[in-house]
Structure 1
Amino acid sequence: MAQTLATPHSLLIVPDLGWVKTWLRIQPLIAQVEKIASEAIDNYPHIPIRIMGHSMGGLIWLEVLQRHPEWWQKVESFVLVASPVGGADLARILDPLGIGIGIAADLGKNRRQMAQAIAKVIPTLAIAGDVDGGSDGTITLETTKFPGAKWVCLPNLPHAILKNHPAVVEVIQEFWQNPVITPAPPPDFTTTLIERLQSVPGMTDAHWRDFSRAKIYLTFPNGVTIRRWKNTVQVEHVFVANHQGECLYGGFVGWVHIPALLQALGEIGKWELGEWG
């Protein structure tokens, strides 16, 4: 895809990280990309930079950019394609206790705060695919979202296909025509509620298909509800729905983080709408 998007005058850098290495740990890959990027910036200090990353590639670039805020002003745009910024649910399932099972521990990490900080300075685009009403078949839609990024969802495109598809190219080219900072929406009751749930240790974005199984746990005066459900292995799921009963957010925590979720729900239960009305 990078070759498709490149102009005749572009300097294209596409690191080959090695397929086997991508199944081990992310830190060596971050160091490898950091070294390549540093050399390129030193050699071409005045050339504007456009960064793209698919899946784990986007996460690697988040980590690299966090290490080098001095590069941010040089970056014209940052595009993440099918990147589980909030943490991959399959990774959390493989490593429910977060003890570090291969790449699962790295892919299950929540990097939203990191991404949000970067998106305040660098125009950022996040692209997701939806094949089943909640995921691209590999990662959930929700995990690709974070405040400050322009978010685009493409129907019927699975995770692997998103790496190189004409529809993705078209979205990126359109974004490049006017890459601007996307302001985060003003806080309201629902967004604050979702952010509080996302901040629970171990919270991972869930697929919306399980929303229909959840039972109402809390109802607020504005009609917003929190719903809960446990699967067969007692993994605790929590969902937020609007006054029309439509799912706005879903997440789950493993066994070790259930007390933290219950504590958060206890705090939320005491909330009043107050300034949100």
Structure 2
Amino acid sequence: MAESREHTFGGVRGRVVAREWPNDRPRYLAILVHGYGEHIGRYEYVADRLVRHGAAVYGVDHVGHGKSEGDRALIEDFEDVVTDVHSIVRRALSDHPGVPVVLIGHSMGGLIAARYAQRHGDGLAALVLSGPVIGEWEIVPELLAYEEPPDRPIDPATLSRDLSVGAAYAADPLVWHGPFKRATLEAFATTLATITKSGTFGALPTLWVHGGDDRLVPIRGSRPGIEAVRGTDLTERIYPGARHEVFNETSKDEVLDDVTSFVDRVLPG
């Protein structure tokens, strides 16, 4: 696996831990945006593939996640998280001025990446959304119907057909295994609505990848969100039988081949 290093910076709501997988002469900068309850350390395989493809890779543990500060899995405003991601993009561009930026967001990270593209899309060469929480995520209104949201733990078996992925997730002390916080659910609802009404991605090349058997973030909810924001250059890949974490699936190399082929198509030269 590619070597990585960590550093910290002051995020909007506290100290944020960032990770870099360096490449001295990158063709592009890949910014990874992780999902709810997890952390950027779960993306070692993805980062290694991208480094070997020519990228320098960067990512952060969002506030309340992984090694970053904050109450666990509490996000009160996703706009602040977008701002933290923008900080790591600026760091990457400071390290490698003028190198194209490709933003890759999974699940909740897809929501963050979509909102980032609406706010800062003119600084991106491409956008990749993996199983994105966008459009309608049925668990949000379902849990907000309760004054105190009940604990609905994620079934690790829904992550991947490779059951070792779920086992590692369940045993990972940096993963949040508790219930949703009401404020986080409210932030999801607000940002889902904001994305839907804030315009399309325009000409930004966008790749949407999704598991055909994703039961955590079903395609039927994400598709209306994609249709609301899609610009003039959207590529869609749905993987039959794949579950939520397509980057950790039994077919992960096919998925990552599709990502790298997409990047090759859109990069200058």
Give per-residue Cα distances to partners, 1:200-249, cap 9 Å, x unaligned.
xxxxxxxxxxxxxxxxxxxxxxxxxxxxxxxxxxxxxxxxxxxxxxxxxx
Q: Does 1:60 align with 2:112?
A: yes
Q: Return the letter of the residue paired with 1:90.
A: I
Structure 2: where are the runs of 5+ without partners? Answer: 1-45, 149-180
**8 Å CA contact retained: 1:78, 1:124:** yes
2:78 is equivalent to residue 10 of structure 1 = no
Measure the CA separation in 2 of the matches of 1:44 and 1:177.
19
| 1:112 matched to 2:193 | no
Q: What letter matches 1:33 in structure 2? A: V
Is the counterpart of residue 142 in structure 1 residue 220 in structure 2? yes
Match of 2:262 among 175, 183, 186: 175
Q: Choose from 131, 137, 148 the match for 1:82.
A: 131
Q: Which residue of 2 aligns with 1:91?
A: 140
TM-score relative to the length of structure 1: 0.53
**Which is greater in Rg?**
1
Q: Take 2:222 and 2:264, find their aligned partners in 1: how far apart are those partners?
A: 22
- Give the Å deviation of 1:67: 2.7
- Give 1:1-277 correspondences, 5 Å limit: 1-7=46-52, 9-17=54-62, 18-19=65-66, 23-25=73-75, 26-69=78-121, 72=122, 74-96=123-145, 101-108=182-189, 109-110=192-193, 111-114=195-198, 117-118=200-201, 120-131=202-213, 136-145=214-223, 146-147=226-227, 148=230, 149-163=234-248, 165-179=252-266
Count of residue pairs the alignment pairs up: 171
Deviates more, 1:17-26 or 1:50-59: 17-26
Supply the AA of the counterpart residue of 1:6. Answer: V
1-structure distance, mates of 2:216, 2:259: 22
Amino acid at match of 1:88: W
Cα distance per residue 1:173-220 (max 9 Å; x no partner): 23223239xxxxxxxxxxxxxxxxxxxxxxxxxxxxxxxxxxxxxxxx
* Structure 1 position 21, deviation (Å): 5.8
Other-structure match for 1:214: none
Quote the Cα distance in structure 2 between the aligned partners of 1:141 and 1:90: 14
- Please say if residues 127 and 144 of structure 1, whose CA atoms lie closer than 8 Å, have aligned partners that are also in contact: no
Match of 1:204 in 2: none
What one-letter code is carried by the residue in structure 2 that aligns with 1:126?
Answer: W
Unaligned runs of 5+ in 1: 181-277
Instruction: Tell me which residue corresponds to 1:248.
Output: none
CA RMSD of aligned residues (A): 3.0
